[in-house]
Amino acid sequence: MSDLTDRLAQGLPHGGLVVDPDVMAAYSHDMAGFCTAGTPAVVAFPETVEQVQHILRTATDLRVPVVPQGARTGLSGAANAVDGCIVLSMVKMNRILELDPVNRIAVVEPGVVNAELSRAAAGLGLSYPPDPSSWESCTIGGNIGTGAGGLCCVKYGVTSEYVLGLDVVLADGRLLSTGRRTAKGVAGYDLTRLLVGSEGTLGVVVRAVVALRPAPAPQLALAAEFPSADAAGAAVCEVMARGLTPSLMELMDAVTVRAVNELGQMGLPESTQALLLVAFDGPDPAGELAAVGEICRAAGATEVVPAEDQAESELLLEARRLALPALDRLGTTMIDDVAVPRSRLAEMLAGVAEIAERHALTIGVVSHAGDGNTHPIVIFDADDPEESARAQRSFDEIMALGLELGGTITGEHGVGLLKREWLARELGPVALELQRQLKAVFDPLGILNPGKAV
Amino acid sequence: MSDLTDRLAQGLPHGGLVVDPDVMAAYSHDMAGFCTAGTPAVVAFPETVEQVQHILRTATDLRVPVVPQGARTGLSGAANAVDGCIVLSMVKMNRILELDPVNRIAVVEPGVVNAELSRAAAGLGLSYPPDPSSWESCTIGGNIGTGAGGLCCVKYGVTSEYVLGLDVVLADGRLLSTGRRTAKGVAGYDLTRLLVGSEGTLGVVVRAVVALRPAPAPQLALAAEFPSADAAGAAVCEVMARGLTPSLMELMDAVTVRAVNELGQMGLPESTQALLLVAFDGPDPAGELAAVGEICRAAGATEVVPAEDQAESELLLEARRLALPALDRLGTTMIDDVAVPRSRLAEMLAGVAEIAERHALTIGVVSHAGDGNTHPIVIFDADDPEESARAQRSFDEIMALGLELGGTITGEHGVGLLKREWLARELGPVALELQRQLKAVFDPLGILNPGKAV
């Protein structure tokens, strides 16, 4: 055993360290494309706060980088190993410590899977809204690291809105407690929100107090077929301008619609250039859907199909669930994550179509339209270096377009390795310098997830 | 003119500087009690971002402290002058730059009064929810500095939830842009939220992008009289545990009820030891009020009065509006701001009553009960040094009690001067050290609002 693993083993239970190369290879990366991953020295699986502190103290003593990980479902390479690092997998710290319906909070360890928290909350008539697509496998710790979003965000907001307090092990092993268990609190700077979305570069979350909401009613959905992305974008704007707040508003572009149509045998006509799905979970979803139906028709929808009941809703939403699998069948995929003001959504879609055409690539766009958060999915042949290079270029041009439209390079997936160079472009020099100085306050030796985000 | 005013005058319009001692005295403090205020060297009223930059550059060059101010309605002394400082009043930067119903945002200068933004938003069917009691005079910049809350927070959250992006002039005069105009975004550390609630110690907000919501329906209220604070606290817990989300849930204790009864000639019986006001603004407020009424009766309410219409609602809510004026008539008041988990609300009220009795003082408690946010109001004779000392001690003991119950020393008023010594007790040494290091990153010379908060 090396000095590192020897030192680590002194404070970890049997089975808490893995150095098997095959296992380490599996833990060396998340689900992002186009990102390099190094070879870890060891993968550690702590089970207690003290063990995490021991690992960080050891890392500081030996100046070894530490890469914190949840379920590795991330899409930006933020959890990718660097050479010689300790991969710090938090998956064994997976207990729900408290569920409190009066204070509407849960206290959880970081390895709790999103869906497990959601189901436990549902058992008490509560919900934990943030619902990234990977919710059946991703962890709350990973969600906090990324600042994860999901389909529900148009109505219920993102992870940041639901994190009230954190226990965090700092780079030198000290334990930091931030935030509160109360509904409100303004004592001192908001370190909790600074840590949400910091991608494991400032500290390792070992416990979180998250807010819960009363469980919403089951949602009722509507599908509307549009002859153009412009028309669908106009409908999205009108829905929001009228003061309606859907629980879900997803838009699929022509590429995605064709792929889904093929995979799911949906029988959508060729004329459908955009498919909008809208749902409500309020007390009168049928009434709200009727209003949305009218808005869609006025915007030029060729077909509007409101569900009559929950089963029909599920059928309509199936189209959205099939989107990624349907596009995956067409080649290697790389998923982008550009959010623009929702008034610019149609321009964003038109711009992406132009980029796809210019690079002779297929790019399907799935959008959380209510948030203006688009996921352009670039499809390419990974065995063709020239096509891969075009894919990479188009991926970058999509980010440039997003910034041009007043948007951000990442709505909910994070910066990680994938968008590191682009972060400087979005933030500008003053913000970037401050961010690096903040990083240095938390992690003066630079051992926490080096090379990621800022 | 001194060197300082001379230098400042070079970059400010006529009338942009005031050195008249009487005017300066008025601008030397906010509305907090028990807080010292120094004598400013000058009060500056910039009208543009460039002028703010000029002021900060001058202050950095000459090492002069700067105290940013909104409408000075704060209750923690955060806006109090220090000797020889530049008081930086943002009240002349008071334009609403954009109101955008599609993206549901407003772009405002910091001196915009909360009520003006609210009314402008209402004109487009939108609302800006944070509603501190001072909303008719306080500014959005001040709200951001404090992290202000209000009555609506039980349903709609606090200022922090509504600030999407900021333009901030740093201590050295550089302009920092944080955040975004989009609904979502996770590019880099969340500097926006770090700045919200930072009480002018990290930078001077010169522009803010804030989120708006569709205007809610008018709320319908209910008043319930309880024979004890315990019973009222139990009702509050049960309302939340049942998954109801009122738009307002305010609780007044026996002292406040008596004072309001006297001032407003409400005719409440002597047996009323606590008065709970609950309102809903959803599609079926009457149904929700009926459910709350049953909960209150089951918890022991002696009387439950649901409003039949909005006019009746306003009459019921009048009791809450009279609370502060009614207590003010009894002597000098000092308002505390302790938030506890709402499940501990009854214990908090019992503890405050015990403190009042032990110190032979009158303390009335008005609570945003749905948030667990209590405002114990200590009443004393400011001309009696011994009684003033007891008032100060009881004020401190109330904070100690809040911490003991798992709460925070400040739910929405901030730390300022008033609670500075208490902040260390809440945060603990690790968080406090980090906060001070963050402060040093933004303001290495320590010229921004020195001696406040951290």
Q: Is B210 in the same domain as B224?
A: no
Q: Are B292 and B335 in contact (CB under 8 A)?
A: no
For residue A177, pLDDT over 70 is answered with yes
For residue B426, pLDDT over 90 is answered with yes
Q: What is the model's pLDDT at position B269?
A: 86
Domain membership flag for residue A428: no
| Cα(B311)–Cα(B317) distance, integer angstroms | 10
Closest-CA distance, B128 to chain A, in angstroms, reads 13
Q: For residue B193, what are its two tokens?
A: 């939220």
Mean pLDDT of B26-33: 94
Closest-CA distance, B250 to chain A, in angstroms, reads 14
**Closest listed residue to residue B406, CA positions, set B348, B341, B337, B336:** B341
pLDDT in tens, B53-100: 999 999 999 999 999 999 999 999 999 999 999 999 999 999 999 999
> pLDDT category, B221, cuts 50, 70, 90?
very high
For chain A, the domain total comes to 3
Domain limit, last residue, from B158, B190, B214: B214
Which among B183, B283, B409 has the least Cβ separation from residue A372?
B183
Q: Is A370 in the same domain as A241?
A: yes
Higher pLDDT, A267 or B232: B232
Q: Is A133 in the same domain as A72?
A: no
Dihedral class, residue A18 (left if φ above 0, else alpha if ψ from -120 to 50, else beta): beta
Q: Is B187 in the same domain as B288?
A: no
Closest-CA distance, B389 to chain A, in angstroms, reads 24
State the best of B154, B155, B166, B184 to mutate against chain A, taking most chain A CBs within 10 Å: B184
Q: What is the model's pLDDT at position A268?
A: 85
Which among A174, A187, A189 has the least Cβ separation from residue B430?
A174
Residue whose token pair is 């946010």: B373
CATH number of the domain enclosing A13: 3.30.43.10
Closest-CA distance, B285 to chain A, in angstroms, reads 12
| B170–A contact, CB cutoff 8 A | yes
State the best of B186, B240, B373 to mutate against chain A, taking most chain A CBs within 10 Å: B186
| A177–B contact, CB cutoff 8 A | yes
**Closest listed residue to residue B237, CA positions, set B405, B374, B370, B353:** B370
Which residue range is the domain that position B311 belongs to?
A: 218-323
DSSP state of B77: S
| Cα(B88)–Cα(A68) distance, integer angstroms | 43
Given an 8 Å threshold on Cβ–Cβ distance, is A431 in contact with B188? yes
Q: Is B238 in the same domain as B168?
A: no
Q: Are A281 and A247 in contact (CB under 8 A)?
A: yes
Which among B105, B194, B442 has the least Cβ separation from residue A193?
B194
Q: What is the model's pLDDT at position B432?
A: 97
Domain membership flag for residue B26: yes
Residues of B (288-347) whose Cβ lies below 8 Å from A: 339-343
Backbone φ, ψ for residue A362 (5° rounding): -95, 125
Contacts of A272 (CB under 8 A, 6+ apart): A225, A226, A227, A254, A257, A261, A302, A303
| B428–A contact, CB cutoff 8 A | yes
| B216–A contact, CB cutoff 8 A | no
Q: For residue B338, what are its two tokens?
A: 């302790």
- Of all residues in chain A, what percent carry a pLDDT higher than 70? 100
Q: Is A301 in the same domain as A201?
A: no
Domain membership flag for residue B452: no
Q: What is the model's pLDDT at position A79?
A: 97
Q: Is A135 in the same domain as A259?
A: no
Domain limit, last residue, from A71, A89, A107: A89
Q: What is the model's pLDDT at position A119?
A: 98
| B408–A contact, CB cutoff 8 A | yes
Q: What is the model's pLDDT at position A323?
A: 94
| A429–B contact, CB cutoff 8 A | no
pLDDT in tens, A388-446: 999 999 999 999 999 999 999 999 999 999 999 999 999 999 999 999 999 999 999 99
Q: Is B368 in the same domain as B314?
A: no
Given an 8 Å threshold on Cβ–Cβ distance, is A183 in contact with B430? no
pLDDT in tens, B135-182: 999 999 999 999 999 899 999 999 999 999 999 999 999 999 999 999
Q: What is the model's pLDDT at position A1?
A: 54
| A390–B contact, CB cutoff 8 A | no
Q: What is the model's pLDDT at position B85?
A: 98
Residue whose token pair is 């959803």: B282
Closest-CA distance, B412 to chain A, in angstroms, reads 6
Mean pLDDT of A77-92: 98
| B92–A contact, CB cutoff 8 A | no
Which secondary structure element, helix H or strand E, spans residue B320, and what is its range?
Answer: helix B310-328
Q: Is B195 in the same domain as B234?
A: no
pLDDT in tens, A237-249: 999 999 999 999 9
Q: Are B363 and B376 in contact (CB under 8 A)?
A: yes
Q: What is the model's pLDDT at position B1?
A: 54
Domain membership flag for residue B271: yes
Q: What is the model's pLDDT at position B34?
A: 84
Q: A377 has which bridge partners? A: A335, A364
**Closest listed residue to residue A72, CA positions, set A37, A120, A47, A39:** A37
State the best of B189, B206, B399, B448 to mutate against chain A, taking most chain A CBs within 10 Å: B189
| A436–B contact, CB cutoff 8 A | no
Closest-CA distance, A182 to chain B, in angstroms, reads 5
Q: Is A279 in the same domain as A388?
A: yes
Exposure letters A62-95 (e unless 16+ CB within 10 A, then b): eebbbbbbbbbbbbbbbbbbbeebbbbbbbbbbe
Domain membership flag for residue B454: no
| Cα(A356)–Cα(A335) distance, integer angstroms | 14
Chain A residues inside the 8 Å CB shell of B443: none
